[in-house]
Amino acid sequence: MKPQSIHHFQDWFEALHTTDLTQVAMMRLDPGSESGPDLDSHPSSDQVLLVIEGSIKGKVGEESIILSKGEFITIPADIPHRFYNDSDSTALTFNVYAPPAYPPNSRG
């Protein structure tokens, strides 16, 4: 198994590694950007989202949240969610999906 860097992804979203049971992805939200115009959900996958740079706001289910660097949440399967960055700096998140939510090597 070869180590991989989280610093080489190029799109706003990229699935970096996928196995049969888990998937690791990075998401970059530049100032003023969002994860999508609508709430999204992963019908069969839990998601752990860790903010590694900046901060994001979002809605998870009925709850509005703010996450800063070093904070994470677990989003259960099938819970609608959406994130956005209304700050002046880029936000990066490290995401783990179990089981995988996207095809291997997905990019946004």
Strand, helix or coil for residue 99 = coil
> Which residue from 38, 20, 32, 12 is spatially nearest to 93, judged by alpha carbons?
12
Q: Answer for the pair 103, 12: CB distance below 8 angstroms, yes or no.
A: no
11 band by pLDDT with thresholds 50, 70 and 90:
confident
Given this model, what pLDDT does residue 46 score?
98
Let me know if 101 is exposed, middle or buried by CB neighbors in 10 A (0-12, 13-18, 19+): buried
Q: Is the pLDDT of residue 3 over 90?
A: no
For 31-94+101-108, the fitting CATH number among 3.40.50.10190, 1.20.1630.10, 2.60.120.10, 3.40.50.720 is 2.60.120.10
> Which residue from 63, 48, 52 is spatially nearest to 28, judged by alpha carbons?
52
Q: Is the pLDDT of residue 84 over 90?
A: yes
Task: State pLDDT tens for residues 52-72.
Answer: 999 999 999 999 999 999 999
